[in-house]
């Protein structure tokens, strides 16, 4: 399997994903089907905390959890970031796999599975940068860090800033607010 010789056609993947049980999340990435377990309780708690924080700082935006995105520029990808920050009602009328245009930030919260390193730390930053998403926020529960990627250019982010849980991190424009990270210490193994 390679992007040039995918495991299946993207249309077949979309049909498969539409019939998958709610206990798994499917993505189509680099020509292969990726299976992600459903989030654990700590993962979900971080997601809900982020929703509240985003609403406080930017009430004109929503943090959509599990929103499917078409990252066509990145090898016909279909990804489900843990969160996508976009204007209120931005995805209204979109199907299961929406165009990423207008997304201001994607969020990934690491899970405790074997392919987190490849998927969340390597492949997804390249995919989101290729799609032109201005900010990629990685909450890394393995390393107890938060990494902000920004300034997408030619398939990569120009700027990367990492802080340890407990430090404040600035989310650059167009997100434009600071994020306290101390609370994340509660939700790591």
The per-residue pLDDT for range 42-81, each reduced to its tens digit, is 989 999 999 999 999 999 999 999 899 998 765 578 888 9
Domain map of the chain by residue range? 41-69+78-187
- Class of the 41-69+78-187 domain? alpha beta
Report the pLDDT value the prediction gives residue 57, as an integer from 0 to 100: 98
What percentage of the chain carries pLDDT values higher than 70?
Answer: 88
Rg of the chain, C-alpha, whole Å: 16
* Reported pTM: 0.83
Long-range contacts of 38-45 (CB under 8 A, 24+ apart): 39/82, 39/109, 39/111, 40/111, 40/112, 42/141, 42/186, 42/187, 42/188, 43/82, 43/109, 43/111, 43/141, 43/187, 45/187
């Amino acid at each position: 399997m390679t992007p040039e010789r995918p495991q299946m056609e993207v249309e077949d993947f979309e049909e498969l994903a539409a019939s998958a049980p709610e206990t798994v999340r499917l993505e189509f990435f680099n020509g292969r089907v990726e299976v992600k377990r459903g989030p654990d309780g700590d993962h979900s708690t971080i997601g809900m905390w982020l929703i509240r924080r985003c609403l406080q700082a930017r009430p004109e935006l929503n943090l959509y959890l599990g929103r499917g995105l078409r990252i066509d520029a990145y090898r016909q990808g279909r990804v489900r970031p843990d969160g996508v920050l976009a204007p209120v009602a931005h995805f209204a009328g979109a199907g299961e796999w929406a165009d990423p245009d207008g997304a201001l930030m994607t969020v990934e919260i690491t899970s405790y599975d074997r392919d987190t390193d490849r998927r969340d730390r390597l492949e997804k930053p390249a995919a989101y940068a290729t799609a032109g998403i201005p900010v990629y926020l990685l909450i890394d529960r393995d390393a107890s860090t938060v990494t902000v990627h920004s300034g997408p250019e030619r398939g990569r982010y120009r700027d990367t800033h990492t802080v340890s849980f407990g430090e404040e991190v600035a989310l650059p424009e167009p997100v434009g607010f600071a994020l306290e990270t101390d609370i994340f210490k509660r939700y790591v193994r």
